[in-house]
Amino acid sequence: MPTESKLAMKRQRAEQVNLAIKIIADHGRRFFYSQDSGRYASIEVDARGKVWWIDDCSGKRIYTHPTTWGGRWRGFTHGGTLRDLVEAFRDYICTGEQLSPFYLDPERHRITDGNIWGYAPEAMTAVREQAGASPVFRQPQQQAAA
C-alpha cells in the first residue's frame, strides 16, 4: 500500500495525463473521445496506487499493469500504438519519469505521406505544442541534457 504522499503524487500525475488525453481527443481524428457516448477516455489511480484506463468507447475500466494471465486489455478500443502510449502514461504516473515528446504521434521516417496517427498537420502541430508543454513530457532543454 503506497503512502498517502506517494498516492497523492500519482493522482496528481494522473490528472496531468488526463489533460494530455483531452488535448489529443480534441484534435484531428479525436483519438480517446467517443462521439457516440460523448465520453473522453481517462486514467484513474486506485487506493493501492494501481493505474486503470477508462475507455472512451466501451466505458470499461481496464487494468494497465502486466498480469500473469496474458495482459489482454479487454474493452480497449484503440490499436497497439495508442496502447503503447497509454502504457507510457501509466509508467509516468507510477515513476514520475517524463515521456519523450516523440510519443506524440511518432513520425514516419523516410515516408512523406503524413504521420502515423493520420492527423492533419495543423492538428498534429496543435497536439505537439499543447500536450508537449505539459509536465508529462520532457521539454526540449531537458531533451538535450538527457
pLDDT of 120-140, one tens digit each? 889 988 999 999 999 999 987
Domain containing 85: what range?
4-145
From 73, 87, 77, 8, select the one nearest 40 (Cα to Cα).
77
Report pTM.
0.88
Q: Which secondary-structure segment (H or E) carries 24? A: helix 4-25
Which pLDDT score, from 0 to 100, does residue 46 have?
A: 97
Q: Count the domains in the chain.
A: 1
Which pLDDT score, from 0 to 100, does residue 142 have?
A: 54
CB 137 within 8 A of CB 98: yes
Cα 13 from chain centroid (whole Å): 11
pLDDT tens, 38-81? Answer: 999 999 999 999 999 999 999 999 999 988 877 789 899 999 98
The total number of residues shown for the chain amounts to 146
Which pLDDT score, from 0 to 100, does residue 108 have?
A: 59
Residue that wins the pLDDT comparison between 107 and 145 = 107
